[in-house]
Structure 1
Amino acid sequence: MTAKNIRVIVVGGGYAGVMAANRLLTRDDLYVTLVNPRPQFVERIRLHQLAADAGSTAGRAKRRGTSTAGRAKRRGTSSAVAEFGAVLNPGVQLVVDNVERIDAPARRLALSSGASLDYDYLVYAVGSTGAVPDGVPGAAEFAYPLAELEQAQRLRSRLADVAAIAPVVVIGGGLTGIEAAAEFAEAGRDVTLVSPVVGPSLSGPGRRSVTRRLRKLGVHLVSASVRSVGADHVVLDDARSLPSAVTVWTAGFGVPTLAADSGLATDPLGRLLTDETLTSVDDDRIVAAGDSAAPSGLPYRMSCQAGLPLGAQAAETVLARIAGTDAAVATVPMSGQCISLGRDAGTVQLQRKDDTPLNLYLGGRTGAFVKEQVCRFTITWLAAEARKPGSYRSLKGPDRSELIASTAVPVR
């Protein structure tokens, strides 16, 4: 048996982190540890479904004119979690804990439990978080973000406590806001979506597809920004006040402050600054992947679409360092945006590899089918990589050299 004498730690058990941990086991002399704050894998792309399944089946059925049992059967429920045993190679040691600090010179992690872990190489894949801005009065106190499991569970509990007819305001017109508003409306809720633009990353035709479906579901679309949030209302930038029993905040994401707190170079949002091989600009023993990585200060769009290939490529960079070979430049194709609009419809925005949208989309039930298959295949790809490390393959993305040369990004 080969001695496992090289210690690699992956911080973060999301899409990128799990992919990286599995991929590293293409070598049998690595001792791979995954540190994650939860004992289960979270399907973040299903959190809006988890939050929406808040016990409103009767109200939903009455509004849609179907039987309670029949409607519940059609929609189903979502736990948005999977056991790590289903997606993680058994050769990876799972440590359920939080990392408080990275001591890069000593190659050591300080954990919340008081323990410490030493490493030879580190994969930084802490992901992203729901960000409620300090600059909006009342938002931190009264709004419910929707980017992490605990946030979705808290929102689900709140929705279960209010009547189905109580007004729900979703703030933010990005993909998370769109999906949440559609889910809540399809579940029989009275929903208002507030955003200057709905679907800013979509093409004109894609945006129209989304807004048509939202209006069909009864979602009120309000083009505005938010001035403040109260316990039972939202004040807009034009001084209008909207009643809101539950205010859901989806306008923007943040990242954990671990890298910045540890003295590592980050971009303005706090993502670890790396070169194009995903290697930290401070330390060639630290490699980043996923939402918390900023290659050349030009991060990819936060998504599992980028997370999986970035996780695989971060592992390949570590493997190259160990082998003493040159690490390859990361390449990520961003071929589309898949949006669920309730369980019965969706919009799939087709794109160029550089993440710019085409005037092409798939809508309706076809869009819903494609979106659901993407969700399922994400787990399938992770599970396949767990069974056979090195099996995952991604298409080649665009050459970013000209973009990098023409852009200067400030570093913390």
Structure 2
Amino acid sequence: MTTTLLRLLCARSGDATLDYGTLLGDGIELVVGSATLIDASRTSRAAGVGPCPGLRLLRLYAVGSTGATLSSVPAGAACALPLAEFQDAAWLRAKLEELPHDAPVTVVVGGGLTGIETAVELAERGRAVTLVCGRTPAPAFSAAGRCYIATWLSRHGVAVLAGVSVSEVRQDAVILDDGSADGPAGGAVRPSALTIWAAGFGVPDLAVASGLRTDPLGRLLTNETLTIVDDDRVVAAGDAAARSGRPLRMSGYAAGPLGAQAADTVLSRIAGTRPAVLDLAFSGACVSLGRHAAVRQLARKDDTAVNVYIRRSGRRSPCSSTPPSSG
């Protein structure tokens, strides 16, 4: 499940779930539980389910990502709500419905694509939204792409506070800091009836708890075939994998190809053939700007932006002389 779908659920713009019966093929058994350990006997254990001996031959580790922890921000974990999992989005949706429509500003903390998409969905629903960014919205985009996004946000009433951080979260406000004692945002109090935290990613601690080798964030270390370095019977994919210690950008964009690569590795191992090495190139990133606009930023293979972007919108952009794209 991607954060793009979660913010639709949060803002009542769409749904975020599909029945597993529409996804799983014949002969696949679904076991629902919370994984607690991958032990030395090569048997996975799940809370409420117990050992899963059918997983002894080959296992695919694809636990995904979570929101970043808020322990470094005073009262952050208690007063700011994340948007990283289905339960988070459902809770946020319920909290928003409790607020008067003209309630004090809802603050979305995080200038990445999750923060931008959440802010614009709420703005299109008529909410007063402030987007707080440590740098600038969409910092990985080209200058022209960032300009287009900033213009869209301004035209649709999203207040953007760039170059500031949140030093404290309260029940009804956030405390901002621009890094200087006398700066315009230094210690400023921003009213917020609901604070949504969309800054950064983390991963579940299952790999660390199982004693497997990980990178500093907790992602399983794998080789170029996505086989983990500790146990050749475990293949890892998605946000929770760090291929050769060089993890790809955490994103739904990478999850699909990595899942296909992991499946090919598993099938090769079953067939007794040598798995292929990963050969994945990024071509850019996409950001949705509500129901009627979007930006596709093009990039080099190493995921660095080039000065070309494609937009879908009914307006001409002041950042480019190129007419709006219909694709």
TM-score (norm 1): 0.72
Query: How many Å separate the matches in 2 of 1:357 and 1:83?
Result: 36
Work out whether 1:52 is the aligned partner of 2:14.
Answer: no
Q: Distance in 1 between matches of 2:119 and 2:325?
A: 15
**Hey, what does 1:239 align to over in structure 2?**
187
SS in structure 1 opposite 2:263?
Answer: helix
Amino acid at match of 2:217: L
Task: Note if 1:169 corresponds to 2:110.
Answer: no
Q: Match of 1:151?
A: 88
Alpha carbons 2:62, 2:238 under 8 Å: kept: yes
Change (3 A) 1:195 1:269: same
Matched position secondary structure for 1:169: strand
**Equivalences for residues 3-18 of structure 1 within 5 A:** none
Structure 2 counterpart of 1:83: 19
Aligned-partner residue type, residue 86 of structure 1: T
- 1:364-375 alignment, distance < 5 Å: 364-365=312-313
Shift of 1:79: 1.4
After superposition, residues 8-407 of structure 1 pair within 5 angstroms as: 42-53=1-12, 77-103=13-39, 105-118=40-53, 119-166=56-103, 167-196=105-134, 197-223=136-162, 224-237=164-177, 238-365=186-313
How big is the shift at 1:369? Answer: 7.3
1:16-42, CA deviations, whole angstroms, 9 ceiling, x for partnerless residues? xxxxxxxxxxxxxxxxxxxxxxxxxx4
Q: Tell me how far apart the structure 1 counterparts of residues 68 and 223 of structure 2 sit (CA, whole Å).
A: 26
Extract unaligned runs of 5+ from structure 2: 178-185, 315-323
Contact kept, 8 Å, 1:347 with 1:368, in 2: the verdict is: no
In structure 2, give the amino acid aligned to 1:211.
A
1:160 match: secondary structure: helix
User: 1:323 Cα deviation (Å)?
Assistant: 2.4
Q: Is the 8 A contact 1:344 1:368 kept in 2?
A: no
Percent identity of equivalent pairs = 49
Q: Secondary structure at the match of 1:363?
A: strand
How far 1:353 moved relative to its partner? Answer: 2.2
Distance 1:164 1:86 in 2: 37
The count of residues paired between Structure 1 and Structure 2 equals: 305
Equivalent position SS for 1:234: strand
CA separation in 1, counterparts of 2:276 and 2:220?
19
* Alpha-carbon distance, 1:45 to partner: 2.4
Deviation at 1:114? 4.3
1:390 paired residue number: none
CA contact (8 A) 1:136 1:228 kept: yes
**How far apart, in 2, do the equivalents of 1:117 and 1:263 lie?**
19
Cα distance in 2 for residues equivalent to 1:132 and 1:301: 18
Could you tell me whether the CA contact under 8 Å between 1:346 and 1:368 is conserved in 2?
no
Deviations 1:159-217 (A, max 9, x none): 11111122100100000000001111111010000012211111111111111111111
Distance between the aligned counterparts of 1:129 and 1:43, measured in 2?
A: 11
SS at match of 1:82: coil
Q: Aligned-pair distance for 1:132? A: 3.1
Q: State whether residues 43 and 81 of structure 1, in contact with CA within 8 Å, keep that contact through their aligned partners in structure 2.
A: no
Q: Aligned to 1:81, what secondary structure does the other structure show?
A: coil
Is the Cα–Cα contact under 8 Å of residues 44 and 80 in structure 1 kept in the other structure?
Answer: no
* Cα separation, 1, equivalents of 2:155 and 2:293: 11
* AA at the equivalent of 2:10: A
Partners of 1:132 and 1:145 within 8 A in 2: no
Question: Post-superposition shift, 1:88?
Answer: 1.9
Is the Cα–Cα contact under 8 Å of residues 192 and 222 in structure 1 kept in the other structure? yes
Amino acid at match of 2:212: L
Consecutive unaligned residues of structure 1, counting only runs of 5 or more, are 1-41, 54-76, 371-412
Q: Is the 8 A contact 1:171 1:248 kept in 2?
A: yes
CA distance in 1, matches of 2:223, 2:170: 43
TM normalised by structure 2 equals 0.90
